[in-house]
Chain A
Amino acid sequence: MTAAATEAPPTASAADLLRSMADDEFVIGYSDSEWTGIAPLLEEDVAMSSLSQDELGHAAALYDLLAGLTDGDRDALAYDRKPADYRHARLLDHGRGDWAMTIARRYLYESADAVRLEALVAGSWGPLAELARTIAREERYHRMHIDAWLTRLARADGEPRDRLIAALTTLGPDAGTVFAPLPGEAALVGDGILAATMAELEAQWRASIEPVLRDLRLPVPPTTDDPGTGRTRHSEAFTDLHATFTSVRRSDPGATW
């Protein structure tokens, strides 16, 4: 709210928020890039590659901002941490799965990310508010894409619909982890950087998706399973993904590519 908050964000809490957002975008971008070349349709090969490229671009911009706060390095933040030190939502820890799993995960994540971005665009810390506005502009295409696919699978009776329901059922208990409490969120809200607490944002998000899912007769995500560890307890699927996305970096540490 104050000029001081604009110039100097509360470093630790802002860093926690940036790390959670950057890790979300990095992990979903990296996971979905695995569809390049093997998506069910040629159009989706192109679309998933482009979507992933967007998410990795958002991650890079968020890691840059984080690096500025913590005197770090963007590539080190992305690649040099141990799996346990990543702070993405557990929603993104279920492996690539089938196409329905990818659609369900993208729908749950994109709808939650949209609510989170909306809570940042008018924030008092200029650099983050500006970046949130730029990201939100690009995410508009992502929402169009995922809304169309959710409806398409939901209305196709038989296997597509069954697989979508199975995916939403598997992901449901972890869906709300995008809004897992952040250590310094009270300070972020107090300084006007974030418009509302994660719990309030989660309520907004649930209110936005429940009518859509009910209308399509799809399962609504239940209460979050163990929200306190929503960004700290990761699965073996993430350990595998981490081994893949760090492999080039580990092959020649410190190299300039």
Chain B
Amino acid sequence: MTGTLLALDLAAIREAIGAVADPEMPVVSIGDLGMVHLVDREGDTIRVSILPTFLGCPAAEMIQAAVAERLEGMGLAATVAMSHAVPWTSDRITSAGRAALLAAGIAPPTEAVDPPCPMCDSTRTVMDNAFGPTQCRSLHYCRDCRQPFEAFRAG
């Protein structure tokens, strides 16, 4: 009984953490991006570990602070750490996350070097630069609707 309640509590806490928005792409949450690694309890303290998408990502510290603030707002004592226990990969992005990226005009990660255009679905696209405005995005151009667009980098 206690075990079930504890599990439910942790699930609810995990959900609240996952809802924190990504500071550089507020259309997706850190849960959508698959960045929430471990949420467990040690005595009265909630221990959270977050996987950074890229090691040099300047948003990482902001995310860490936002998670700590969210838990504090729920009246919980918590420690929030960044972890490299498993490498984050773009496969961790949820289907809701992919849909939100697409809706915002950012092509979700694909195996193909040239992802379909998020505006018109055309596959006649070309990569302009593997490096974009943030470490997780690349720059592309659609030859059909003639729009530049960004893609979330795969890998």
CB atoms of B131 and A47 under 8 A apart: yes
The 0/1 profile, CB within 8 Å of B marked 1, for residues 174-204 of chain A is 0000000000000000000000000000000
**Tally of A interface residues using CB under 8 Å:** 26
Alpha-carbon distance A60/B61, docked complex (angstroms): 13
**Would B86 and A130 count as touching, CB distance under 8 A?**
yes
Quick one: which of A113-166 are within 8 Å of B by CB? 127, 130-131, 133-135, 137-138, 140-141, 144-145
Main SS at interface, chain A: helix
Q: Are B56 and A141 in contact (CB under 8 A)?
A: no
Please name all residues of chain A whose beta carbon is closer than 8 Å to the beta carbon of B56 when the two chains form the complex: 53-58, 60
The yes or no answer to A170 lying at the interface (CB within 8 A) is no
How large, as a class, is the contact surface on chain B? 20 to 34
What are the residues of chain B within 8 A of A133 when measuring CB–CB?
84, 87
Chain A's closest residue to B113 (CB) is A144
Contact A61 B55 (CB under 8 A): yes
In the bound complex, CA of A47 to CA of B138 (Å): 10
Closest to A56 in B: B56
Q: Are B131 and A130 in contact (CB under 8 A)?
A: no
Given A130-B84, A133-B87, A138-B54 contact (CB < 8 Å): yes
Check if B128 is an interface residue, CB within 8 A of chain A: yes
B interface with A by C-beta (< 8 Å): 54-58, 84-89, 128-133, 135, 139, 153, 155
Q: Which 7 residue pairs across A and B have the least CB separation, nearest first? A: A57-B56, A57-B55, A50-B131, A47-B131, A134-B87, A53-B56, A43-B129
